[in-house]
Structure 1
């Protein structure tokens, strides 16, 4: 029949299920009336591949007949050139969300990363990415969504904001690889300026720290800090160290590629104090011990931040921060700064940058170059010594001219 708003309103309700009354004007266009009395405009059509579809345009309370009929005509034009409105709706319902992307990122990508890296990334995703974007479709995330998140985090944690964008950029890069979208909305975000940290413990701080370690109640944590100082290794390498990596007779630590940042085996000699510390730990360990620093269950020790704060407070390696109306003391050095301190000791002793880089496991000379300025002191002492010899004023000393008349 020829439909109208009045006719649609007067259509009887079926006893059960639903009944469709089609319009004479547009083929496939009609009104569906349910047993509950709901009325909605629909369009039946066939796709280019021959599939029969039924698309719901909308409720008769939201659409007038004339507007719904025009929408049906427009949809039929799109269908004639290959469009599939119902297929697009189904695809949208099945489209992956950012929560799905985070889940696959953790399962397929973070499992290949070091434990500490995976732990940090998961915390970042849980605390910042998911609360802001989890319900958004991956294909719907825009540059402005990520830029706004970056700006929000930047107000309190500028460096963390940069890390968040970096993680999102990697996630959407993988989304392209997985064919979940065709571009990366995290590209082009203007990052916050970052100043590289160059924090080393002074000789006085180092002495206070070693004294504080002797009084720390948790001596396992104290020994982790000692081994970090004696080897310059990364925190994750020390905490995950296994006894089969050490040859205490030869004094060598062979770190497997799976535990190093460069993913390559790193073989380093151990100093006498480091060998002594490990020997004492080995004597106290169980015969079947796997980890040098075992944790609960079958895993290694993980959390030592509380112990680091305790030892820094005892050693006076602190900075004062105002929190509300209170002044709070916090460590002025990070655990990672023990690695910097080890490197600074080597540089100040006059060792070459290639030697320092080899001991630290650096793959790029530029990474070790940050310690080059620390070599100035021993070099200055050496040149001063040479100057004092050449220009000696002591009685009986004679300055001899260099050959060549210079």
Structure 2
């Protein structure tokens, strides 16, 4: 029976030798000479493929590759010399694999970074935040730096986007894009996609002075009259609650009956909808209670939402057209449903300055 002895590519040079064997049926293979009777012969083709790849031939997981016996002997001799001289063939292979893996990470683009963030982290954010992040990715960040490698993005690239948005008058969006870009690159560092400083770090943001918008008594009466005449009665009710409570649009649209205590005239806004991320109890005035009581009387008791709508969440969230119609009827120019950052406004004496 012809025999040949080789040493596999393993971290330790004390691994088992292999013996060339031929079974009675004529099948050829390689059997580990470890004295372990449980080790079955390994197929001839699989043995040399696994030996070349540095795999443990005893686990049966190697893939086939054809080697001629003479070539295998020569390669075994060469590797034995490398090991005897202090070389580490398996270590070299692992180092090459690690280098290739690092190169794959370094080749990731900002678009890849955005995609992974959307998949792993965006679902955990609030609906309004998810929408805002999505708009920032699609409209600003991806068009500006999406095709650049994560490792190649510099501070100047982020500053260029910031200055562009600021120049267009989108000061708040410019600030938020800096924040979101910083979040993205913080994850890039954690994932090993980037080394070095975060390119969005310490970029000075826009600091605008507060702007106040007051509705004059005549404007307040005109707006109230416009709401009474508004064809969309649900929208009119939502806008009345907004104006009378000072609540934000999202908080009002997501109002549930279980949050209202009519006996104590309290609306408990849960932390999931408030900007401060904590429960907020808001006293309700008689006019607000009157609006809500009328809705409750006319609405189906099965609805959990005070203002149900066609959104996938179940509440109404499309108020822009109704607000624009009310402002047009009241002949009022440029007034937001809720104050933007740095802006406050009141409706007569009913809406507190925020």
Equivalent in 201, 206, 220 of residue 220 of structure 2: 206
Spell out the pairing of 1:302-341 with structure 2 (5 A cutoff).
302-318=317-333, 332-337=334-339, 340-341=344-345
Counterpart position of 1:238: 252
RMSD of aligned C-alpha atoms? 2.9
Q: 1:145 aligns with which of 144, 147, 157?
A: 157
In structure 1, the gaps of 5 or more residues are 1-44, 53-81, 319-331, 348-355, 357-369, 372-406
Q: Give the TM-score normalised by structure 2.
A: 0.66
Moved over 6 A (4+): 45-48
Deviation track 1:123-148 (CA, whole Å, cap 9, x = no partner) reads 11111111222232322211121122
- Is it true that 1:49 corresponds to 2:91 in the alignment? yes
* 3-state SS of paired residue (1:51): helix
SS in 2 for 1:99: helix
Unaligned segments of structure 2, at least 5 residues: 1-86
- Equivalence for 1:22: none
- Asked if 1:163 corresponds to 2:198, the answer is no
Does the residue aligned with 1:199 lie in a helix, a strand or coil?
A: strand
Q: Which residue of structure 1 aligns with residue 21 of structure 2? A: none
Deviation at 1:51, TM superposition (A): 0.9
Determine the C-alpha separation between the residues in 2 that align with 1:209 and 1:101: 46
- Confirm or deny: 8 A CA contact 2:268 2:282 kept in the other structure: yes
2:141 aligns to what? 129
Q: 1:244 deviation in Å? A: 1.1
Matched ranges for 1:92-131 at <5 A: 92-95=103-106, 96-131=108-143
Give the C-alpha shift of residue 228 in structure 1.
0.6
2:349 maps to what in 1? Answer: 345
SS in 2 for 1:264: coil
Q: Do the aligned partners of residues 106 and 51 (structure 1) sit closer, same or farther apart at CA in structure 2, a change above 3 Å counting?
A: closer
List per-residue Cα deviations over 1:323-361 (Å, max 9, x = no partner). xxxxxxxxx1111149944587369xxxxxxxx7xxxxx
**In 1, Cα distance between equivalents of 2:93 and 2:244:** 71
Question: Structure 1 stretch 276-285 or stretch 146-155: which is displaced more?
Answer: 146-155
Shift of 1:222: 1.3
State how far apart, in whole Å, the 2-side matches of 1:212 and 1:137 are. Answer: 53
| Secondary structure at the counterpart of residue 198 of structure 1 | strand
Q: Distance in 1 between matches of 2:156 and 2:255?
A: 44
- Assess, with a 3 A threshold, how the Cα gap between structure 1 residues 195 and 105 changes in structure 2: closer, same or farther: farther
Task: Encode CA deviations 1:68-103: one digit per residue, 9 max, x unaligned.
Answer: xxxxxxxxxxxxxx8x5x754543334433223223
Report what 1:324 is aligned to.
Answer: none
Question: Which is bigger in relative contact order (C-alpha 8 A, separation at least 6)?
Answer: 2
Match of 1:293 among 302, 307, 310: 307
Displacement of 1:268? 1.8
Residue of structure 1 in register with 2:294 after alignment: 280
The answer to whether residue 282 in structure 2 is matched with residue 263 in structure 1 is: no
Task: Name the SS of the counterpart of 2:282 in structure 1.
Answer: strand
Whole-Å separation in 2 of the counterparts to 1:104 and 1:283: 47
Quote the offset at 1:229 in angstroms: 1.0
TM (norm. structure 1) is 0.58
- CA spacing shift, 1:147–1:109, aligned 2, 3 Å: same
